[in-house]
């Protein structure tokens, strides 16, 4: 009798347990589904603007708040390097000014480097940036808030500057503040390539697709980008274009859907312009990641990423002194 009751009790318990897990599974499942429903939304695919109308890019109106000291009309540079930077990167800007970013002539070609900045959130920092620009005359700035999500605005400000003030330059490189650039090898390869118009190169990304996992750093919602794949683009850590392409990008940009990933946005512009990405060299020379330093290796790269300001100085000094003038 007692034994029967116990068995009955155990059966009830296990039935309750089964119900419990069943409900738990169901609620977790539906939570997961509603959290990720855009993953399964097949009818939003390939229909730019059906469910999620995407807004086109709008450039920042108005004058530049800072312009660099250069007259491209009188003395056009061969290559302009534009470095995306923000207020807190003073030490990195100083390191670049002393190393690869210093104005110089390589193989008879003039190279200049300028920094792209938005308006600092803090007014006192904004005053510091203004003073820094007055001192070094190498800052390009417009009135937009300098945040990660405004990087497309920052890049497009650089493109606008080239289009309006320096279209006489042959080439433009857009790069980041934590990147090392071997300006000697880059110049050599550009001269060797002999392609002066319709040219775009860098670390090619030909088959990337949007990351729809919300917790990812690179999460892009379907509202922002409804397509399944990205067009071909070059890693934003460093890409090089002929200056006519800058004008064409400027021209087409306001009819291209806005996306906060600046390198993808440039890819969308190039797709619209039907400009194909090209390799600069048959071997890899653009490194969107960190690579180990050695003089022999760095002599044969155009750029690498994740470089500290102190490393800019040491890499540069080693490269220049230990390559016995070969790089020059």
Ligand X SMILES: *[C@@H]1O[C@H](CO)[C@@H](O)[C@H](O)[C@H]1NC(C)=O
Q: Which is nearer to ligand X, 250 or 315 (CB)?
A: 250
How near is the Cβ of 167 to ligand X at its closest, in Å? 9
- Lookup: tokens for 280: 């600069």
Q: Which is nearer to ligand X, 150 or 285 (CB)?
A: 150
Q: Which is nearer to ligand X, 56 or 145 (CB)?
A: 145
What are the strands, taking DSSP E only, across 15-168? Answer: 79-84, 104-106, 109-119, 139-145
Q: Which is nearer to ligand X, 62 or 108 (CB)?
A: 62
CA torsion sign for 235, 239, 244, 249 is positive
How near is the Cβ of 70 to ligand X at its closest, in Å? 17
Q: Which is nearer to ligand X, 158 or 288 (CB)?
A: 158
Separation between Cα atoms, residue 95 and residue 4, nearest integer Å:
83
Q: Could you say which DSSP state residue 221 is in?
A: -
Distances (CA, A) of 237 to 23, 24, 197, 202, 250: 48, 45, 22, 9, 20
Separation between Cα atoms, residue 48 and residue 256, nearest integer Å:
11
Q: Which residues pair with 84 in a beta bridge?
A: 116, 176
Q: Which is nearer to ligand X, 175 or 248 (CB)?
A: 248
Sort strands 171-176 and 79-84 into parallel, antiparallel or unpaired: parallel
Please calculate the CA angle 168-169-174 and round it to the nearest 5 degrees.
Answer: 135
How near is the Cβ of 258 to ligand X at its closest, in Å? 11
Q: How far apart are the first and last CA of the chain?
A: 99
The tokens 């080693």 sit on which residue?
318
How near is the Cβ of 222 to ligand X at its closest, in Å? 20
Q: Which is nearer to ligand X, 63 or 282 (CB)?
A: 63
How near is the Cβ of 175 to ligand X at its closest, in Å? 21
Residue numbers at the binding site for ligand X (CB under 6 A): 60, 62-63, 143-145, 147, 149-150, 247-248, 251
How near is the Cβ of 34 to ligand X at its closest, in Å? 27
Distances (CA, A) of 284 to 68, 202, 288, 303: 32, 9, 11, 10
Sort strands 171-176 and 233-242 into parallel, antiparallel or unpaired: antiparallel
DSSP result, 277-300: PB-SSSS--EESS-----HHHHTT
Q: Which is nearer to ligand X, 143 or 310 (CB)?
A: 143
How near is the Cβ of 48 to ligand X at its closest, in Å? 20
How near is the Cβ of 256 to ligand X at its closest, in Å? 13
């Amino acid at each position: 009798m007692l034994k029967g009751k116990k068995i009955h009790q155990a059966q009830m318990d296990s039935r309750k347990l089964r119900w419990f897990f069943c409900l738990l599974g169901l609620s977790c499942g539906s939570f997961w589904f509603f959290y990720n429903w855009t993953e399964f939304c097949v009818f939003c695919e390939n229909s730019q603007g059906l469910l999620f109308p995407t807004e086109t890019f709008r450039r920042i109106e108005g004058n530049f708040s800072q312009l660099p000291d250069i007259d491209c009309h009188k003395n056009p540079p061969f290559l302009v390097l534009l470095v995306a930077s923000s207020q807190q990167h003073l030490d990195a800007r100083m390191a670049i000014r002393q190393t690869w970013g210093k104005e110089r002539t390589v193989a008879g070609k003039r190279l200049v480097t300028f920094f792209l900045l938005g308006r600092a959130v803090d007014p006192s920092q904004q005053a510091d940036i203004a003073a820094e620009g007055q001192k070094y005359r190498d800052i390009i700035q417009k009135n937009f808030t300098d945040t990660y999500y405004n990087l497309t605005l920052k890049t497009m400000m650089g493109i606008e500057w080239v289009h309006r003030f320096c279209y006489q330059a042959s080439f433009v490189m857009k790069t980041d503040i934590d990147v090392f650039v071997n300006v000697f090898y880059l110049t050599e390869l550009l001269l060797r390539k002999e392609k002066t118009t319709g040219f775009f190169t860098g670390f090619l990304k030909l088959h990337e697709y949007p990351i729809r996992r919300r917790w990812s750093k690179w999460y892009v919602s379907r509202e922002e980008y409804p397509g399944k794949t990205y067009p071909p683009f070059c890693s934003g850590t460093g890409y090089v274009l002929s200056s006519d392409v800058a004008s064409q990008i400027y021209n087409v940009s306001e009819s291209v859907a806005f996306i906060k990933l600046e390198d993808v946005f440039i890819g969308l512009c190039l797709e619209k312009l039907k400009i194909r990405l090209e390799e600069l060299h048959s071997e890899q020379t653009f490194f969107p990641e960190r690579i180990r330093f050695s003089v022999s290796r760095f002599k044969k790269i155009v750029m690498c990423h994740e470089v500290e300001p102190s490393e800019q100085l040491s890499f540069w000094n080693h490269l220049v002194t230990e390559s016995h003038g070969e790089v020059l």
